[in-house]
Chain A
Amino acid sequence: MSDVEARSASEERQRRHVSEEWDAVAFGTHCVNCMPGDCPLYVYTKDGKVVREEAAGVIEPNEPGVPDMNPLVCQKGLGWSRELEGPERLLHPMRRSGERGEGRWERISWDEALSEVADAMLDAIEEVGPAAIVTEMSPEIVTVPPTARFTGILGVTVLDVDGTINDFFTGYQQVFGKFSFAASMDDLFHTELLLIWHSNPAHTVIPSFHFITEARYRGAEVALFSTDVNPSHSHVDYHVPVRHGSDAALALAMCQVIVSEGLVDRAFASSQTDLSLLVRTDTDEFLREGHVQEGGRDDRFFQLHPERGLVPAEPANLLLDFAPELEEGCEVKTLDAGTVLVEPLFARVRRLLDAHYTPEQASSVCEAHPETIRMLARKVASRRTRILLGAGVCKYFHGDLMTRSMLLMLGLTGNWGKKGAGVGGWCSSLFDGLSTVMGKTKPGVEGGKELLDGSRMIRDHLVAQDPSLTGELPDRELLKAVTSRSIVPPAFFWYEHAGYKERWNRSDWSDPTMVRKFDDYWREAIASKAWGEVADSTPLTPPRVLLEIGGNTLRRTRGGKKALLENLWPKLDKVVCMDYRMSQTALYADILLPATQHYEKTSFSMPTPWSMVLAMGQAVATPPGEARGEWQVLGDLCKKLAERAEARGLESYPHFSGETRRFDALWDAFTLSGTMADEESAAAAMLADAVTSGNMPQGTTLDTFRRKGHSRYADWSFIALAKANASPFPKNETHSPLRNHIEQGQPYPTLTRRAQFLIDHPWYREAGEDLPVHKEPPPMGGQHPFRLSGGHSRWSIHAMNMSSPLMLETHRGKPFALINEAAAREKGIEDDSLVRIWNDVGEFIVNARLSPAQRPDGLTVYNGFEGFMFPRGRGANEVEPGMVKWLHLVGDYGHLSYAPTEWQPVPFDRCINVDCEPFTGEL
């Protein structure tokens, strides 16, 4: 062979390596709980097996002059096909053959498995009722529609997802009355000042991180507030190190600078917030109509007009044609206390800030230099400012106070409802098809239309009854009305059933301003009936069957593995886990049902405003073993329930709606007479409903998705959790939420119909939290010198991908605790050696990763590692007490009331007190 030919042969082999490894390519995506998670990919297959995937890069730009979102991908997405045939994949239905958690399984048929599950469910229904069957709403979007439909029809106990995943921002709800809103990720390009706070976007938002660096090139400045010098730090203009849990002091000091230097956007603060509302100086409450007028309402408030004096604060429209008094008060004759001095809330806030939060005062708390505080405060006041506020904040005990303080700063400076400004929460409700298939009772688009028309009728009725319900307000009332009995905040379940009663009543781990026992507040909250019948009855209903469908409670419930295994598991006759992989929870299940995965079934991605597109995954790979889709399995389970019920002579079951429902009608009800019997037909139904409602463009079908991989929405979804975005539907522009409040004066869904900084509830006044203040983090876990925190890792979507060899090889191949290098050496801890981390709750052992970039008293263990990745099977979860804040039990104060995925107590896992030492024992 000649030299030239030999070289050609070598090259040719490499060409073939690329071209011959696949024989088909199709669009795919990942339908998981990921932000944005709408990444269209090309999925390359050969003989029905995925060989690899590649970013499609097909997203059209949203707005001229703003960068596009391509390629829209991350390393997990590119490596996802490894999950399909990974070592954790569940291939066959299995029955536990040893003790729970022993890891011994026997393979059984689908029929046997479903029979066993059905029998356990029927036992529970006969003994207690459907409520003894408990399921967690999984955030894995692919599992949501079939699971919600199934559990809704049966009427089982469904634990609210935002309580179980701890991602609910209490502070957003306290101020805005909602948290389900978010900007499109390209809106960040309009930002002039970005404050990265409780966030590490280099880990958490890999596909959209480029908008940060590109905004910087456009002229934006970026500051990072964090306890550690986290991986996002190299892309910022200022790194401001702060002490754990001191962020409220920092934010309030910035407010103090803004107010004392006259930098307040007074027009914005007056119209958009409660700072112009009058408060009584005798009781510190808002002045209410009921205080001055017999029979007056207690949800109507007042402002002080410079000429006309006391005027009612308009509830239906916030736009003002006058400048209400912000500094001076007046005397008012009240029914209950005679003449009382009232003043605008702004005046009281100013006094609070001047008394306690000068930059010098705050600096001694948060450790940021007063000059830095002043410099950044002035920038906030003069620039379109966005806070990239991570979900870490809501996992601090006083994260609500931090969030309220940050939002006060934005409210004082007119920094939301505008391009590039504001904050964002979590919104995953942009797709009408999701809602219709969960709720409709008749097949076809007629069924979807009936549901939408019904909703519209109730909404119209609500508005007719109260014309002041403008903007999104009737939608929220509708949401509460239609979902009031179907979902329960998990706190009410855990308290009685999962061992948290003892922990939450540990007043030495809680805040010292909780003057009574936690249990007193608990009882009062239950007695108020504010949390509804489900919350009342759940603690009294013995759990018998746990259905985990795409969920992983033993990993993610804060402090949960120990608490749940010791307290909840013994009460459960059957733990059923349907998943594609062996999760921490699957390890302790009784029955395992293998689920299909992305690329193996037709499904849609997370419908978020981040991308403003919906992506579709297709069935291009042959499922391994006997894995099946959730629609099919739950449909089969309906049939099996009917069959087994008949065998024991059981015809019907009581549904929480009051109806008696027949078991033999289950399958028809679930599949709507077979029209939604598998993933493909369900996806088609979702899409048809969304096209009918106008949410998806006319002409959109599964085929158009197959050709393009994704589609833009045509309009907002009808449900309140989408309308919370409160902005015009973006056409040829980026999406910034909350614009309708500013541009049209639409009210906020709060008690005062304004962004609300005062919570004049007696518990809040008692605790000194009626206004945003700084409080020290309570010593959760006991008195120990290190503060343990976490955050999302780079290499996983929660626990998914975490144990993938492909991802493990991109770091050290094991969990680790980041420890300050000098602090570790003082304790004799070497890099990569094992350390024991412990507190009053428990202990775990993990490899140390020494880094100078950690605070000397900080320890970071990223979230998402499964217990089985740690020595002795115990992860950081073991030292978390999973505390909740008693003030979040208030459920009967205006906007502090429950709606699904919103206001509720959620456990904390940041800033846990621990100690550490070299581990020297036997493993």
Chain B
Amino acid sequence: MSGSEKTNEPDTVDRQLAMVIDLNKCLGCQTCTVACKKLWNRDAGTDYAYWNNVETQPGKGYPALWPETGGRSGAGEVKRGEVPDLDSGYGRAWDFNHRAAFESAAKPAGEKAWLQPNEEAHWGANWDEDRGAGHYPEDNHYFYLPRLCNHCTHPACLNACPRHAIYKDKRNGIVLVDQDSCHGYRFCVEACPYKKVYFDPMRQVTTKCLFCLPRIEEGVPMACARQCPGRLRFVGYRDDPEGPIWKLVEKWKVALPLHPEYGLAPNVFYLPPLSPPKLDAAGRPTAEPRIPMYHLESLFGETVGAALETLRSERRKRRRGEPSELMDILIAYDWHKSFALSSEHEVSR
């Protein structure tokens, strides 16, 4: 396998690989998280890191309060941010006391151990699961937000690295860390406003999602996308007019980047979530969705309302029995077609 051509000039990539994540299909099952975790980041140093996580919104997210700790990079300007704390920001990988729990089963109450992390555990990658916001029962709301590296067109991490160790693969725009050049300064960890670059304290280098580059090179979708039971991830190239990415992002304009105001031009896009109506004081459904627009606008920008309206109107069309290209793409009749990569979409056997 040959090494890729690299570029530190983001605009010079030949093609840009991208992902669309349909939040209206996400059930928060964490299969993507586990798929990623089984393939990457299993050893000491990276065991705390989830390149892919799914967080409940509203919620603090992972790492905690990440939108408040990022170094934003509006107009290409880099500003220093924070490196999240291992315990209160990310949450450590826990060790459990199975043996002690088994061995003390019949001991008196005061001496009994029960299964728990050996460390004090007060935060983790999915600590806020299923809590959300609102009041029972009128307007409770929450939804799941899967997050991974956005493989930005203008990556803050790339700009922040004094070693020029971060680059984009010219063939597909994937943002990669050259760990042999990395000196572990963590400027990239600070700079990424999505907090998707991680520091490996054992190897003293940074590490991040590589869009499963070795799989992509063989025409196999990323582990997280290919094994998503909710079938909410679409993968392909930005410039492929027949592929799902172009259609959802450019044609239908329903797939939006997360925090577009950061100015990094992410290449992971989201279909914003619809939600059931709020109830009025008597318990009747109102015309207003439960998830407040201000929350969605804070995540996906001001075009989120138009995207939701497109989704609603296409759904109404389909209910009337009329055709809708948009609904048909999102249904993903043929799972294989969710992934428009260059070669056969078979797992290497």
- The residues of A with any CB-CB pair to B shorter than 8 Å are 1, 3-4, 6-15, 17-19, 25, 42, 52-57, 61, 65-68, 70-75, 78-79, 87-88, 98-104, 201-202, 206-207, 209-210, 213-214, 216-219, 221, 224, 229, 231-239, 241, 367-369, 371-372, 582, 587-588, 794-795, 803, 805-806, 808-814, 818, 820, 832, 849-856, 866, 868-873, 922-923
Could you tell me if B125 and A217 are in contact, using CB atoms closer than 8 angstroms? no
Closest 6 CB pairs of A and B: A8-B3, A87-B98, A101-B106, A241-B137, A219-B319, A229-B140
Could you tell me if B136 and A809 are in contact, using CB atoms closer than 8 angstroms? no
A11-B3, A236-B276 known; A213 vs B132 contact (CB < 8 Å): no
A214 / chain B contacts, CB cutoff of 8 Å: 25, 231, 330-332
Nearest CB of A to B152, in Å: 19
Could you tell me if A7 and B6 are in contact, using CB atoms closer than 8 angstroms? yes
Q: In the complex the two chains form, what is the Cα distance from A65 to B323 in whole Å?
A: 13
Q: In the complex the two chains form, what is the Cα distance from A813 to B181 in whole Å?
A: 37
B122 / chain A contacts, CB cutoff of 8 Å: 832
Could you tell me if A18 and B347 are in contact, using CB atoms closer than 8 angstroms? no
Could you tell me if B28 and A231 are in contact, using CB atoms closer than 8 angstroms? yes
Nearest CB of A to B24, in Å: 6
Could you tell me if B228 and A71 are in contact, using CB atoms closer than 8 angstroms? yes
A7-B3, A219-B321 known; A810 vs B112 contact (CB < 8 Å): no
Which of A14, A70, A241, A855 contacts B213, CB < 8 Å? Answer: A14
A7-B167, A210-B25 known; A217 vs B34 contact (CB < 8 Å): no
Q: In the complex the two chains form, what is the Cα distance from A65 to B227 in whole Å?
A: 22
Interface residues of B in 276-291 (CB under 8 A from A): 276-277, 279, 282-285, 291
Interface residues of B in 126-154 (CB under 8 A from A): 126-127, 129-137, 140-144
Q: In the complex the two chains form, what is the Cα distance from A785 to B117 in whole Å?
A: 32
A103-B102, A104-B103, A852-B135 known; A372 vs B229 contact (CB < 8 Å): no
Q: In the complex the two chains form, what is the Cα distance from A801 to B253 in whole Å?
A: 41
Could you tell me if B285 and A812 are in contact, using CB atoms closer than 8 angstroms? no
- The residues of B with any CB-CB pair to A shorter than 8 Å are 1-4, 6, 24-25, 27-31, 33-35, 37-40, 93-96, 98-99, 101-107, 109-110, 112, 114-117, 121-122, 124-127, 129-137, 140-144, 167, 176-181, 210, 212-215, 217, 223, 226-232, 273, 275-277, 279, 282-285, 291, 315, 318-321, 327, 330-336, 347-349
Could you tell me if A810 and B38 are in contact, using CB atoms closer than 8 angstroms? no
Which of A42, A102, A808 contacts B94, CB < 8 Å? Answer: A808
B133 / chain A contacts, CB cutoff of 8 Å: 852
Could you tell me if B181 and A234 are in contact, using CB atoms closer than 8 angstroms? no
Could you tell me if B315 and A219 are in contact, using CB atoms closer than 8 angstroms? yes
Nearest CB of B to A887, in Å: 32
B319 / chain A contacts, CB cutoff of 8 Å: 219, 221
Q: In the complex the two chains form, what is the Cα distance from A241 to B136 in whole Å?
A: 9
In the complex, residue of chain B having the shortest beta-carbon distance to the beta carbon of A363 = B283
Could you tell me if A853 and B229 are in contact, using CB atoms closer than 8 angstroms? no
- 25 residue pairs from A and B, CB less than 8 Å apart: A7-B178, A8-B2, A10-B177, A11-B213, A17-B214, A19-B214, A55-B226, A70-B231, A73-B229, A75-B34, A88-B102, A103-B104, A210-B232, A213-B24, A213-B230, A229-B134, A232-B27, A233-B276, A369-B284, A587-B102, A803-B115, A809-B124, A852-B136, A868-B102, A922-B110
A78-B35, A103-B105 known; A852 vs B132 contact (CB < 8 Å): yes
Nearest CB of A to B178, in Å: 4
Nearest CB of A to B149, in Å: 14
B136 / chain A contacts, CB cutoff of 8 Å: 229, 241, 820, 852-856
A87 / chain B contacts, CB cutoff of 8 Å: 96, 98-99
In the complex, residue of chain B having the shortest beta-carbon distance to the beta carbon of A100 = B106
B98 / chain A contacts, CB cutoff of 8 Å: 87-88, 582, 803
Q: In the complex the two chains form, what is the Cα distance from A856 to B136 in whole Å?
A: 8
Could you tell me if B96 and A808 are in contact, using CB atoms closer than 8 angstroms? yes
Q: In the complex the two chains form, what is the Cα distance from A54 to B34 in whole Å?
A: 11
A233-B140, A235-B27, A587-B102 known; A71 vs B318 contact (CB < 8 Å): no
Q: In the complex the two chains form, what is the Cα distance from A19 to B348 in whole Å?
A: 9
In the complex, residue of chain B having the shortest beta-carbon distance to the beta carbon of A856 = B136
Q: In the complex the two chains form, what is the Cα distance from A235 to B180 in whole Å?
A: 45
Q: In the complex the two chains form, what is the Cα distance from A501 to B258 in whole Å?
A: 60
Nearest CB of B to A232, in Å: 8
Nearest CB of B to A765, in Å: 35
A368 / chain B contacts, CB cutoff of 8 Å: 283
Which of B2, B126, B279 contacts A810, CB < 8 Å? Answer: B126
A234-B141, A853-B140 known; A74 vs B283 contact (CB < 8 Å): no
Q: In the complex the two chains form, what is the Cα distance from A581 to B308 in whole Å?
A: 48
A210-B230, A810-B33 known; A25 vs B284 contact (CB < 8 Å): no
In the complex, residue of chain A having the shortest beta-carbon distance to the beta carbon of B115 = A869
Could you tell me if A55 and B179 are in contact, using CB atoms closer than 8 angstroms? no
A87-B96, A853-B131, A868-B101 known; A810 vs B125 contact (CB < 8 Å): yes
In the complex, residue of chain A having the shortest beta-carbon distance to the beta carbon of B179 = A10
B229 / chain A contacts, CB cutoff of 8 Å: 71-74, 206-207, 209-210
B29 / chain A contacts, CB cutoff of 8 Å: 74-75, 202, 206, 209, 794
A78-B227, A217-B327, A869-B115 known; A54 vs B347 contact (CB < 8 Å): yes
Could you tell me if B3 and A4 are in contact, using CB atoms closer than 8 angstroms? yes
Q: Which of B4, B110, B232, B335 has the most CB of A within 10 A?
A: B335
Q: Which of B96, B213, B229, B282 has the most CB of A within 10 A?
A: B229
Q: Which of B115, B178, B181 has the most CB of A within 10 A?
A: B115
Could you tell me if B283 and A372 are in contact, using CB atoms closer than 8 angstroms? yes
Nearest CB of B to A362, in Å: 13
A103-B106, A219-B319 known; A67 vs B94 contact (CB < 8 Å): no
Q: In the complex the two chains form, what is the Cα distance from A206 to B144 in whole Å?
A: 14
Q: In the complex the two chains form, what is the Cα distance from A217 to B333 in whole Å?
A: 11
Q: In the complex the two chains form, what is the Cα distance from A805 to B141 in whole Å?
A: 29
Could you tell me if B231 and A210 are in contact, using CB atoms closer than 8 angstroms? yes
In the complex, residue of chain A having the shortest beta-carbon distance to the beta carbon of B47 = A809
Could you tell me if A18 and B215 are in contact, using CB atoms closer than 8 angstroms? yes
Could you tell me if A850 and B181 are in contact, using CB atoms closer than 8 angstroms? no
Q: In the complex the two chains form, what is the Cα distance from A72 to B228 in whole Å?
A: 9
Beyond the given A10-B181, A73-B227, A813-B96, could you list 11 further A-B residue pairs with CB under 8 A, ordered by the A residue number?
A14-B213, A68-B333, A70-B231, A79-B38, A219-B315, A234-B276, A372-B284, A805-B94, A809-B124, A813-B117, A818-B130
Nearest CB of B to A837, in Å: 15
Which of A8, A67, A814 contacts B333, CB < 8 Å? Answer: A67
A805 / chain B contacts, CB cutoff of 8 Å: 94-96
Q: In the complex the two chains form, what is the Cα distance from A803 to B100 in whole Å?
A: 14
Could you tell me if A99 and B335 are in contact, using CB atoms closer than 8 angstroms? no
B142 / chain A contacts, CB cutoff of 8 Å: 234, 853
Q: Which of A53, A74, A219, A368 has the most CB of B within 10 A?
A: A219
Could you tell me if B105 and A587 are in contact, using CB atoms closer than 8 angstroms? yes
Nearest CB of A to B281, in Å: 10
Q: In the complex the two chains form, what is the Cα distance from A128 to B63 in whole Å?
A: 62
A367 / chain B contacts, CB cutoff of 8 Å: 283
Could you tell me if B283 and A812 are in contact, using CB atoms closer than 8 angstroms? no
A55 / chain B contacts, CB cutoff of 8 Å: 226-227
B124 / chain A contacts, CB cutoff of 8 Å: 809, 811-813
A229-B137, A233-B140 known; A806 vs B34 contact (CB < 8 Å): yes
Could you tell me if A852 and B282 are in contact, using CB atoms closer than 8 angstroms? no
A52 / chain B contacts, CB cutoff of 8 Å: 38-39
A810-B30, A923-B110 known; A68 vs B39 contact (CB < 8 Å): no
Could you tell me if A67 and B332 are in contact, using CB atoms closer than 8 angstroms? yes
Q: Which of A214, A229, A820, A923 has the most CB of B within 10 A?
A: A229
